[in-house]
Structure 1
Amino acid sequence: MPILSATCLVLYIILVVICAIGVIKKRKSGHLQSRTISGIVVTLTGSFIYVSVTLLRFTVGRSRFPCMIFSIVSYSIPPCFAMPSILRCLRLVFQHRFNLIKTNTLSSSYCMQQEQQNTESLFIQAKQNSNNSNNNSISTSNRNVNSSVMTSVVETFENNQVIAREENTTREKFIIKAHSILTNNTASLIVFWLSIGVQLFLWFVLMVVEDSFFQNEHYFMDGALLISLGKGCGLGFPSTLFVVGISICYFIVEFIAIGLCFTVDNDTWHIKREVFLLVATQILTAVIFTFLSVASVVEIVDYFVPSGFVVAAYSTFELVLTILIPIIRAIHADSKEKRECDSEIEMIISNKETFQIFLDYLRKSFCPENLLCYADIEKYKRETALRQRKKIAHRMVKKYLYEDSPFQLNLPSDLYSVKTVIMDNISFADNQNALTDDLFADIQLHVLSNLVDSYSRLKFSNKTIQKVSNDWNAKQKRLSPRSPMISLSSMTSLKL
């Protein structure tokens, strides 16, 4: 068993090193950004704490491994296993709802315009009724009643609109705030280590109690005190009961979070599939572990393959599924040649049906702001009035370039200065030349580059887009068979 444990420990450390290097190298990939770096670190840390100590204990020998280290790790098992899954599920739920807010902006604006038109129609109709009453010499009292009815109807409509808007705003603020916390690297790490800290504090309290009242009884651990460093031990009944009780509390929260995942759409990064696959594996692990713990042949089986190996195997599987496979996908995506033509993407965006398909796909990829920004830039270009163009430009800067904005673009470092340049042009705009069509050229090139990557994945998975793309390419070949297609990769070398 020591040889098997040592071999597994070496292989596991190699896996952890590969995952760590992959995360560092591909940290800007969408496959990792969608899972957040903090979420990956939490999963990696929780797995490493349990698996490395468990395998090291089996390698050294359970009777020689320090009881203090084993007891600390045992008391930390619940958050190490449950917190990565809880944070992953909640992050997925609020990423889904947050991106729904983003993509519903266009439809909400349209609905508000329709409601304003309905309100204006109501005013006009009421005014016409009032004029007709004047022409027919209706009494002043009747006109006052009619006017009061009109005012009451309009005020009721406006009040309902204000109430609905306030309710939506409050809900949206909550979703945006929760999304900001769950996707913030610092906040996620604080939550994880705080849960570990609570367990360590409880261990310390029990250690003080044992050292004060049960020093000669080994009350919490079998064979040694909680604080013992000179000999090994096993979990005593009180410690087992304590760990199981805390684990049940964590698992209740975890299954509530998993239940919320049923309310979200399948994302394009396969995070939802990972969640459900891990749940099934987690349940299977619990069944096998329980069987090995109560079976009559437990001593024989435990001698060759300890039951702790089952939990370590699950933790290793979680590492492979949620970290290693996304890294491999990121490497594969980067190695693919980008062949899509920018005109083809413009064709997809200009078509109402394909635009909605593309926008919905980007929502499930948690990055609809790229397409929304591209559409707003095109709207800015079409505007000819200086005052209106200035208003659109200012709104776009506030919407896509300000920090902590829900629609903030993930810009590379070399584009950070673009925001200042654009704001200067907007502030000092006193003629049409100050706000030229290429004001957002660098930003548009960046979002278009991001859209090409997303579009290549969409075209691979959506038959409607495949058909539209094939028809468009066939038409282009018929119209200009000798004209080479301009790829986005070549376009990036041009100065806009």
Structure 2
Amino acid sequence: MNEGPSSWISTGLISILSVLQTTTNSTSTNTTSVCDPSLLKNGTEKEEYGLCPETVSSQAVSGILLGTYLIFVVFTIASVIKTRKVPLVKYREVAVMIGALLLTGLFAFIFILRLTVGRKIFPCFIYMLTYFFAAPVVFFPTLLRLWRLIWMSRLNKTRVELFRLEESLIKKGGEPRRKRETVQVQPSTSSGNVSDVEDSPGTGSGIVLFNTTTVTDTDSYDEDSDDTDSDAGSVTMEMDDSLSTSSGGVTTDEKLNSLDPNQGIRRQMSKASGLHKSVLANAISTVTQEELAKYIALETRIVRIQHVLKWWFYLAVTIVFSFLHLLIWLICGLVETFYLSSYPDSTKFTVTADFFVFNHGCGAGTGTLITVAVQGLSYLVAILVLLIFTLREDNDTWRIRVETFTVLILWVLWIVAYIIAGLIPVVGSLTDAYFAYGLILFFAVVTDNIVTGFIPAVRAIAELISVYSKQKGSVKRNKDVEEEEGVTTVEKGALIKMLRDKKMFDILLAFAKQSYCPESVLAWKEIQLYKRKSNVKARRKLAKNIQNKYLKSDAPMELNLPSKFNKEEIGKTIDDVTKPLSKDFFNALAKHCEQDMMDIWDRLRKKDKRVQEFVTNYQKECEAKKNNAAKTAQPNV
């Protein structure tokens, strides 16, 4: 009979854990000893609880490793917390990094502590509890990393898609309006005149939500100018009370109903959140139900994805999984204590049926091996599924996916080494007493911690030191030159020119998306749209959109702003209709976005030859302008 892949994996896991049983120096219930005679010392040492005698050297080595590992874990966690705002750490999710370090650290700590104090002394109760958490320690952090990779990729894809949709609608709203037929809304018995409402001739999908008069063709759309009184450029604006207040005796809701007998637009509007409930309510251009439905669907998707990427979501999932494994441990212990202990020849979870014993140690039985093997197989299946989804997503620029694959490969290598060591008879019966080969799994945990925690944290510290050194050197060289005074560095000038170039902007945005931080790029672009608005009313509505999307807590594209940005005051200024908003209102925010993009731009410049060529050409232009200015300044001879 042919065995499938699942059977192979299951058999392999049981073999691994069978070797782990040998590591604990457990034995079968028969009288045959698995311990080397030299360890018994002519009867002065004996085999107890299914465990062989241990040597002082083994305990000393384990103690040294225990102390060193504690220092290592504390340093790594402190470094992660210190560098939590550095992109290298930030986009790996601090909660996931610290959670993985604590989970694997606690497991390794108990594992080494048992070897240090003595396997015969360490309570069986705690040892079995730790054993039942072996599978989640090995696989759960990887599961969370893959989960986060998938949803971070999808979140930023959706953000960019939402921005592209808005951009197209803004351009559509600014297109020259052609002559249209008007549809007269019948006034109610209690009202006087009612405004005309437009509809595209011959179609039921095109909806215009506010009254207009018949117009003729105007000049072609110019993205850099907006001198009309139209609010068409403001696509995602705050909901006004106009959707529920009457106008000439007919409410806007009634207008929407009169335009669409099936109330499709109204139903879609009702699904929108408070941030974008009037997505196109003030647009003069035609809005289709499909466009509105797509916009609301994208916005809803962003909000939902943000929920599954919050730290509390990971905490909740970890608690649920921990409770599940704790419940399995408790059930197995109760089954052995009250049922299997009555049958001496039955398969047990501990060698000597001491599952809940606290005053001495024990060895893991076959039942424990099978249970943990099934758990491990379940995690492996989940990891393989997530791996398939991960490979379908864009590769991240932080190399988190590569890091995750590396950890999986290293775990496989360590486990293979562990199995090979366990298959050598002399290792299990003799050398394990002097140097526990179970430490191979400890080194596997340490390797995991180094790759996923220590290296990113150290790189982030190095980056902080580098940034501090550059800033300090810059201040020494240019004490009198401040960016706030209008002097722009060549690097930032190249970045701004790149943002204004459509092709290069798309390259930067794609790279930012794969870096999980397109917010600054998108916010900067919308601020430029805001500056182009000469109409005061349109500018205020676009300002409200920027506030809702980038500044509010839990906004779809919330920016990570320093404390100097008083979001409450910004909101009050935008809401104060008595004072017009200047075109420079968001200048400080634009500069923050530019500064925030410098890291992304610098990494992109090092990787992309097109960007390198673009920057080189810009530097040549700057140098040529500087030379021309110097020549012009020279007095005529």
Q: CA deviation at 1:335?
A: 2.4
Q: Which residue is equivalent to 1:219?
A: 348
| 2:123 equivalent to 1:66 | yes
Q: Which residue of 1 aligns with 2:570?
A: 422
How far residue 393 of structure 1 moved from its aligned partner, in angstroms, is: 0.4
Query: Paired residue for 1:277?
Result: 406
Q: Distance in 2 between matches of 1:280 and 1:26?
A: 27
SS of residue matched to 1:266 = coil
Matches within 5 A, 1:305-384: 305-336=435-466, 337=470, 341-384=491-534
Q: Which residue of 1 is the match for residue 88 of structure 2?
A: 31
> Contact between 1:458 and 1:465, CA under 8 Å: does it hold in 2?
yes
Distance 1:369 1:175, change over 3 A: closer
State the shift of 1:482 in Å.
10
Counterparts of 1:115 and 1:397, CA distance in 2: 23
Mapped to 1, the partners of 2:583 and 2:513 lie a distance apart of 28
- Report whether the alignment pairs 1:475 with 2:621: yes
Q: Please report how far the alpha carbon of residue 285 of structure 1 lies from its aligned counterpart in structure 2 after TM superposition.
A: 2.7
Deviation at 1:316, TM superposition (A): 1.0
Deviation at 1:343, TM superposition (A): 1.8
Amino acid at match of 1:329: R
Q: Which amino acid aligns with 1:426?
A: I
CA contact under 8 A between 1:401 and 1:408: conserved in structure 2?
A: yes
| Structure-to-structure mapping, 1:449-488, within 5 angstroms | 449-481=595-627
Deviation at 1:356, TM superposition (A): 1.2
Q: 1:247 to 1:174 in 2, by over 3 A?
A: farther
In the alignment, the residues of structure 2 paired with residue 255 and residue 172 of structure 1 have an alpha-carbon distance, to the nearest angstrom, of 30
Question: Cα deviation per residue 1:83-118 (whole Å; 9 max; x = unaligned)?
Answer: 211111110111011101112234323555788999
- Unaligned regions of 5+ residues in structure 1, if any? 128-148, 485-496
Q: Within the alignment, does 1:178 sit opposite 2:305 as a pair?
A: yes
Shift of 1:287: 2.5
Mapped contact 1:67–1:224 kept (Cα < 8 A): no
For 1:79, the equivalent position in structure 2 comes to 136
Report 1:26-425 matches (<5 A).
26-112=83-169, 150-151=202-203, 162=289, 166=293, 169-170=296-297, 173-174=300-301, 176-182=303-309, 184-215=310-341, 219-223=348-352, 225-300=354-429, 302-336=432-466, 337=470, 341-415=491-565, 418-425=566-573
Relative to 1, partners in 2 of residues 1:268 and 1:154: Cα closer, same or farther, differing over 3 Å? Answer: closer
Alpha carbons 2:206, 2:289 under 8 Å: kept = no
Contact 1:223–1:232 (CA<8 Å) still a contact in 2?
Answer: no
Report the CA distance between 1:298 and its aligned residue.
4.4
Output the CA distance in 1 between the equivalents of 2:391 and 2:95: 24
Distance change (3 Å), C-alpha of 1:483 and 1:14: farther
Displacement of 1:396 after TM fit? 0.6
| Percent identical residues | 24
Q: CA deviation at 1:73?
A: 0.5
**Is the CA contact (8 Å cut-off) linking 2:153 and 2:393 kept in structure 1?**
yes
Inter-CA distance 233–153: structure 2 relative to 1 (3 Å threshold): closer
CA 1:343–1:229: 2 relative to 1, 3 Å: same
Q: Is the counterpart of residue 448 in structure 1 residue 594 in structure 2? A: yes
Residues 26-81 of structure 1, C-alpha deviations (whole Å, 9 max, x = no match): 11111111111210122111211221111111222222211111100001112222
Equivalent position amino acid for 1:231 in 2: H
Distance 1:481 1:466 in 2: 23
C-alpha displacement at 1:154, in angstroms? 7.8
CA positional deviation for 1:406: 1.6
Aligned Cα root-mean-square deviation (Å): 3.2
Structure having the higher Rg: 2
1:189: Cα distance to partner?
A: 1.5
Compute the displacement of 1:164 (Å): 7.8
Change (3 A) 1:2 1:468: same
Instruction: State the alpha-carbon separation in 2 of the partners of residues 111 and 274 from structure 1.
Output: 37
Higher helix share: 1
Q: Quick one: distance in 1 between partners of 2:591 and 2:373?
A: 54
Q: Which runs of 5+ in 2 are unaligned?
A: 1-57, 182-200, 208-263, 266-286, 475-488, 631-637
Deviating more after overlay: 218-227 vs 78-87: 218-227
In 2, distance between residues paired with 1:113 and 1:164?
12
Structure 1 window deviating more from structure 2 (237-246 vs 469-478): it is 469-478
Structure 1 pair 15–420 and aligned structure 2 pair: CA distance change class (3 A): same
Mapped to 2, the partners of 1:251 and 1:172 lie a distance apart of 34
Structure 1 distance, partners of 2:205, 2:508, is 41
Q: CA deviation at 1:153?
A: 9.4
Report the 3-state secondary structure (helix = DSSP H, G, I; strand = E; otherwise coil) of the residue aligned with 2:512: helix
Q: Which deviates the most, 458-467 or 30-39?
A: 458-467
Counterpart of 1:413 in 2: which secondary structure?
coil
Equivalent of residue 11 in structure 1, options 31, 50, 68: 68
Deviation of 1:277 after TM superposition, in Å, equals 0.8
SS of equivalent to 2:585: helix
What's the TM-score, normalizing by structure 2?
0.65
Q: Could you list the per-position Cα deviations for residues 299-344 of structure 1 after superposition, in whole angstroms to 9, with x for gaps in the alignment? A: 1554454343222222111111111111122122222326763322
Query: What's 2:274 paired with?
Result: none
State the match for 1:435 in structure 2: 581
Letter in structure 2 aligned against 1:87: L
The CA distance in 2 between the partners of 1:361 and 1:44, in whole Å, is: 29
State the secondary structure of the residue aligned to 1:290.
helix
Contact kept? 1:54, 1:308, Cα under 8 Å: no
Residues in 1 aligned to 2:144 and 2:298: alpha-carbon distance in whole angstroms:
21
After TM superposition, where is structure 1 displaced by more than 6 Å over at least 4 residues in a row? 113-118, 152-155, 158-161
In the alignment, is the contact (CA less than 8 A) between 1:16 and 1:44 conserved in 2? yes
User: 2:225 aligns to what?
Assistant: none
Q: Matched residues in 2 for 1:175 and 1:271: separation? A: 22
AA of the residue aligned to 1:429: V
SS in 2 for 1:439: coil
Quick check: 198-207 or 236-245, which moved more? Answer: 198-207
